[in-house]
A and B are shown apart, each in its own frame.
Chain A
Amino acid sequence: MTQSAVAPAETSTGRGGPGRSSRASSRRRMFLIALIFLAPALLLLGALVAYPIVYTVVRSFFDASGGQFVGFDNYVEMFTRDSTFTAIRNNIIWVIVAPVTCTILGLIFAVLLDRIRWATAFKLIIFMPMAISMLAAGVIFRMMFQENPNLGVVNAALVGINSWFTDESAYPGANVRADSGLIVQGGTIASDGAVEPGTEQNFPLVGIRADSIPEEAAQAEEPGSAGSDEITGTVWLDVIRGGGGENGEIEDGKSGLPGIRVDAVADDGSIAASAETDAEGQYQITGLADGSYTIALPASNFTQGYQGVNWLGETLITAVIILSYVWIWAGFAMIMIASGLSAIDRSLQEAARMDGASEWKVFTKITAPLLSPVIIVVFVTLIINVLKIFDLVYVIPPGSSKPAANVIAVEMWTVSFGGGNNQGLGSALALLLLILVLPSMIINVRRFREERSR
């Protein structure tokens, strides 16, 4: 609260006549008028805010339906129930992580703002999420963090960056026909039985989606002739688009599968040599000693490449929701701190700079201490706000990770309105929230009294 309250001037002096009775009646009149001004607000506050506090306290000592006094049972249940315990634990994580992150980001933005010419535009961009509902923000973040990299922008970016560094040509879902004479084991496709150098081993594959075939793939060709220390063959997609053709035969319209690694596995299980298929699907393993080999297409050819992170799963869901919160509230911290900053006398910093103090020194020794009151206000406001967080946690997690993302406010809603139908436990949870914000109430009252006494 940067706006300092000025104590009202005494207004009663010089009012009313000198006579006692007239002063008394004027006082009564004043009181009546004040009551009229206050009545609507006090009625609503009394009936809908003050009375519910009392009711909630009483209700928290009764059972689910409210008929029976149960003492502290609801409070015991609150700390022993799994879902409630998760909620309290998550709230602690929230309170530790979210306000600090928002405040630090806000501080960095606010302090560096005057280094850029487009500060106003930047402020608007960062601050804008404050105006929209947490529901809309929740929909946005749930969309962004979808697991499928074709749909969620975050995973799309991760997969995109990843494919820059690793050159994979994967054929997920590849399989063989039952009558092909090939075997599939643990994802690896291999020849059934031994192959000797100087012979050929073909791999007609099926089950590969058209969009995972790379552009350079060409019409499959018969394998080249194998030398005495070579094994050759072709790996192709044994399907003609639009149908037709004979299974297991290399025919017009069947595509070679380039980039597949082919291993010649010796009897002892070691890889003797390997090769890679070309655009026509042909491979040629050379330099083989006499003996028999199993020709295998290792599973790495067919496993899905990097598919991003399961953001909305149980482990990361709270981190994602906190991120969405930071997206909304960092702007609040920035605006508050920036206005505190503008109230600071710049000449101090200038003087320190003249004396040769580094920017970091100026910040830690002068700017930060002067800003500490407003930083504390921001921090406390965010803590109170985070304790009551509801909408984002209600909206972002898909059903399966809802339990893992639970917080007190959501738990309170679930047990008392969202199917739990236990308003005794719900009241206890509401009271827990009230107790958690109690310190801030005390701070508010104390600050008010200090202002009055000044």
Chain B
Amino acid sequence: MTGADLTIVRGKKTVGQRILGVFNNSIVNVVFVLVALFWLVPSVGLLLSSLRTVGDSASSGWWTVFTEPTQLTLENYAALLSNDTITGSFWNTILIAVPTTFFVVLFGSLAGYAFAWMEFPGRDWLLIAVIILLAVPIQVGLIPIARMFGALGIFGSILGVVLFHIAFGLPFAIFLMRNFFTQIPSELLEAARLDGASDLRIFLTVIVPLGVPAIASLAIFQFLWTWNDMLVALIFSNSQSQPLTVAIQSQLRQFGANIDVLSTGAFISMIIPLIVFFAFQRYFVQALLAGSQR
């Protein structure tokens, strides 16, 4: 819009309306600043708490650092990073989240391709079955799978946690990938088929390169989901294989006395998701928009 257009539009408003408009906007601005501050308080509070000693945290609130900034210390982080349980569980979180994400993306896009571009009997019924499984609560899986993994000897192992996450991540992954792949113009696939390319070749050379945005969306969504999970790991991991969330929650019983471990641990567990979020938030939003009814 050029400057001239703006003046024309403005000219149509009465003086009163113009004043009202400015007034409204400044009210909106003030309210939004307050809302944003409210929304930031929890995270800032956690960060500042993690930077204070347990003694300070037991006697005063984190907001006192604004008047006494000398309280700030990296002590808690140093203590936690030399704590084998915490560092071990940090690695476990990575060992759980990365393979889960990889296999969900791999299996999900393979199946998504089959559902989108291959003809086989019962295809629609299978797809409807996948859509039904989309909303199944993980609670339904807990008891049977715990029993099954017990019999298989993988209850309490990282493998078990990963398998559980892959299985319950797949319906959404298949659904998302299938929806995206069907939007790829059929001419591209036809051309490749006429050239005599096999399905695997088409998948690797046509679908995957074109599907990078969708694959990125799915990968980020699944990674954050798995990284942040507590319930599955609470049941399927043991003290050797537990991820960060489980290690931290075990300190909850003495909330006040463990506030240093809890706040610092919680913040460490947030760092990677926050980096991923800020770097790739566009893809994360895409995954949410594409439907997240899980």
Contacts and interface: CB of A to CB of B under 8 A. Distances in A.
B63 to A, nearest CB: 6
B141 A49 contact: yes
B45 A144 contact: yes
B134 A398 contact: no
Nearest to B49: A143
Most buried by B among A41, A132, A137, A359: A41
B173 to A, nearest CB: 8
Contacts of A292: none
B230 A444 contact: no
Contacts of B63: 153, 156
A53 B140 CA distance: 6
Contact of A49 (B24, B133, B179, B274): B133
Contacts of A156: 61, 63
Interface string B4-48: 000000001000000000001100110010011001111101100
B142 interface: yes
A297 to B, nearest CB: 30
A8 B186 contact: yes
Nearest to A12: B119
B28 A3 contact: no
Interface string A440-454: 110011001100100
B197 interface: no
Q: B interface, how many residues as a size bin? A: 35 or more
Interface string A407-451: 001001100110000010011011101100100110011001100
Contacts of B248: 135, 139
A59 B144 contact: yes
A152 B9 CA distance: 51
B183 interface: yes
Interface stretch (A196-204, A221-229, A280-288, A387-395): A387-395
A186 B46 CA distance: 41
B288 interface: yes
A358 to B, nearest CB: 10
Nearest to B62: A153
A6 B137 CA distance: 28
A30 B120 contact: yes
Contacts of B161: none
B273 A430 contact: no
Contacts of A128: 43, 274, 277
Interface in A7-23: 7-9, 11-12, 15
A122 interface: yes
Given A3-B179, A12-B119, 11 more contacts: A5-B179, A42-B126, A48-B168, A56-B144, A131-B274, A139-B46, A153-B63, A394-B230, A417-B142, A417-B234, A441-B131
Counting from the closest, the 9 A-B pairs by CB-CB distance are A48-B167, A133-B228, A131-B277, A52-B144, A41-B111, A55-B144, A37-B114, A9-B186, A1-B291
12 contacts: A8-B116, A48-B167, A52-B144, A52-B145, A121-B36, A131-B284, A132-B228, A134-B228, A135-B245, A143-B45, A388-B138, A417-B235
